[in-house]
């Protein structure tokens, strides 16, 4: 009997996701047509582009750049989107859901108002929309680094507290869907502790955090033109892709340790494979969002990443996500040895490398022996020469 496939289901803010991998707000999420393609994939949920109160075009072009080797991506888009009314329009949501196999994938709306007043107004529009019951959750983006002249709210803890206080009161009074918060990356122990304390203060309203957004104010320079690779915002942009994975891992790890257990953590940043998703879940993520890989590969990335995650779980003997979620182990010598052994076993060139090493060692031993024989021969010749030379009288 064939072994059962691992189950990728997870629960985010009491919402069931059939797979724990879905799209991040940003790339390929701005239109109902693009979101329909996400719905047709193995993604466990559908997350819209971060909406502003009114539609906007974003920053001047070119505003994105990908490293040729795929190591990192840069964007300074400035929140181009179709406005909140587009993303909560019932006909647009229905169009998106036509792509879902059962029509039941959670549809999550991302908000990134240019002011507190804008965010509150967008929440009111969701509450009064005919599509309200079709919206599974709301994600409040407090982390966008690319709106020129607007600071990253997630770094201003006093302002963040004020916004969350007002938002929480409105969400409660209007009985809105579960609220999540998108966070910027943090780099200091004090920041982790402060933001966790602040979020825990609103734990009855905030049901999950998504960590991390891009690392803001990164700069790529073209050495040929001697200018930035991006035109807008003087070339400063949000950094994403594989380069940020380790920062994402640290943020998910620390937030999971410090947040109340009622607040779920969604891992975002540098996910290119099932193994990347596994690592984020291992350090505490309930689900994983994919941004840059979705941008460069398209929605087929969700099918591939889910397959790879299932293969890895099966190889490790895990049947469900909760079996390893948040259960990262401490470093040990024994664990490090197992890792080295596993990497050696998986290296297809391992046998060839060993053969080449043995061959080099044999060759080296031969030359050492040859040099030894030559030294002995030279010594014998010198001895014979000296014994055959007649000494002078004075000697």
pLDDT for the residue 390: 43
pLDDT for the residue 395: 31
pLDDT for the residue 344: 85
pLDDT for the residue 348: 55
Over the stretch 217-265, which tens digit does the pLDDT of each residue have? 999 999 999 999 999 999 999 999 999 999 999 999 999 999 999 999 9
What is the rounded CA–CA span in Å between residue 313 and residue 309?
Answer: 6
Specify whether the CB–CB gap between 198 and 157 falls below 8 A: yes
What is the rounded CA–CA span in Å between residue 245 and residue 71?
Answer: 11
Tell me whether strands 236-240 and 215-219 are parallel, antiparallel or unpaired.
antiparallel
Quote the Cα angle for 312-315-321, to 5°: 55
Query: Which positions are annotated as active-site residues?
Result: 144
Tell me whether strands 227-228 and 221-222 are parallel, antiparallel or unpaired.
antiparallel
What residue ranges of the chain have pLDDT lower than 70?
Answer: 1-2, 102, 146-149, 346-395
What is the rounded CA–CA span in Å between residue 17 and residue 346?
Answer: 33
């Amino acid at each position: 009997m064939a072994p059962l496939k691992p189950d990728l289901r997870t629960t985010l803010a009491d919402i069931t996701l059939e797979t724990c991998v879905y799209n991040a707000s940003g790339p390929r999420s701005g239109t109902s047509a693009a979101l329909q393609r996400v719905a047709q994939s193995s993604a466990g949920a559908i997350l819209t582009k971060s909406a502003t109160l009114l539609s906007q075009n974003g920053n001047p072009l070119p505003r994105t750049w990908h490293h040729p080797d795929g190591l990192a991506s840069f964007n300074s888009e400035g929140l181009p989107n179709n406005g909140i009314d587009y993303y909560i329009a019932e006909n647009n949501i229905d169009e998106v859901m036509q792509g879902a196999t059962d029509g039941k994938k959670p549809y999550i709306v991302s908000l990134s108002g240019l002011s507190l007043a804008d965010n509150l107004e967008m929440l009111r529009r969701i509450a009064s929309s005919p599509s309200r019951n079709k919206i599974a959750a709301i994600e409040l983006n407090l982390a966008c680094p690319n709106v020129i002249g607007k600071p990253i709210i997630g770094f201003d803890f006093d302002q963040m507290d004020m916004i969350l206080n007002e938002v929480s009161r409105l969400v409660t009074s209007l009985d809105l869907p579960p609220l999540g918060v998108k966070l910027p990356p943090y780099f200091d122990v004090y920041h982790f502790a402060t933001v966790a304390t602040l979020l825990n203060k609103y734990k009855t309203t905030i049901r999950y955090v998504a960590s991390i957004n891009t690392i803001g104010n990164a700069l790529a320079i073209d050495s040929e033109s001697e200018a930035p690779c991006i035109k807008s915002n003087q070339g400063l942009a949000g950094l994403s892709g594989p380069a940020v994975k380790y920062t994402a891992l640290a943020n998910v790890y620390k937030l999971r340790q410090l947040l109340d257990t009622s607040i779920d953590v969604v891992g975002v940043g540098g996910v290119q494979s099932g193994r990347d998703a596994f690592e984020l879940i291992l350090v505490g993520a309930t689900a994983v969002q994919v941004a840059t890989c979705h941008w460069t590969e398209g929605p087929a990335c969700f099918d591939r990443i889910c397959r790879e995650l299932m293969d890895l779980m099966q190889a490790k003997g895990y049947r469900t996500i909760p079996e390893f979620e948040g259960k990262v182990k401490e470093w040990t010598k024994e664990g490090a040895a197992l890792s080295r052994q596993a990497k050696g076993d998986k290296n297809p060139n391992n046998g060839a490398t060993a053969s080449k090493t043995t061959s080099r060692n044999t060759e080296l031993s031969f030359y050492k022996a040859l040099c030894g024989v030559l030294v002995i021969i030279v010594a014998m010749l010198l001895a014979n020469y000296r014994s055959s030379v007649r000494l002078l009288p004075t000697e």
